[in-house]
Amino acid sequence: MRGFVVSDFLDALTNQFLLVGVLVTAGLTVAGLAGGLILGLVVALLRASGNKAVSGVARGYIWFFRGTPLLIQMVMVYSGLPQVGIKFGVLVSVIVTLVLNEAAYMAEIIRGGFLAVPPGQGDAAKALGLSRTLALRKVILPQAIRIILPALGNSVNGLLKATSIASVISMEELMRRSEMIMQVKFDVLEVFAAAAVYYLVLTTLWDRVQRRLERRFDPVARTATAKTIAPAIEQAALPR
């Protein structure tokens, strides 16, 4: 069996073809996160609706996308939807699938954050004459954000690594480009090691961003209230 060659590893690490894959992976992660947050917020609000039909649809959405593998969802979007006249390109299919999948997890994380905010905060906002929308934006959401940030960080790390599944429909992200290089040079260990380094770099960069966000939204030390909300957030952040 061929041993690990450091020079080949360094070549893979500086390979421009692989570096483009890193940028594609980062872009897919950002798109999936942004879309997942927006759609997840909508689903979380629908899930909390007093209308049983609306709440049931939201629960069904979460149940489906959290209960089926991302790989199956991606194949269904890319190859299944054209059967009913809806056709997306590779890039759009990947982004749509990542957003739909991430939104299901974000919805539960956001809902857990809302539930953790003391009910009296909403009552106080109502007493001050704030509309429901304004109370949500100015009172509830800022408090929920600082609660959900730790769980959000875990979800983003999972999303970053989940982008590798896009290689099954020929999306040339980091993993797909790594496989393409290996088919030419047969440097399996070296290329995979380089890909692992890049994934570690991306997750480390996100960790820095997350820490800054936590300091931005929660400048004071964690209080006893945080201990009471931890179980709800841990439940919402169950691994996929």
Is pTM beyond 0.85? Reply is: no
| Mean pLDDT value across residues 37-45 | 93
Angle separating helix axes 16-47 and 90-116, nearest 10 degrees: 50
pLDDT tens for 130-152 read 777 777 777 777 788 888 888 88
Q: Where does the pLDDT of residue 240 fall: very low under 50, low under 70, confident under 90, or very high at 90 and above?
A: low
Whether 60 shows a pLDDT value over 50: the answer reads yes
> In whole angstroms, what is the distance from residue 6 CA to residue 1 CA?
16
Angle separating helix axes 90-116 and 141-162, nearest 10 degrees: 140
State percent of the chain over pLDDT 90: 50
> In whole angstroms, what is the distance from residue 190 CA to residue 188 CA?
6
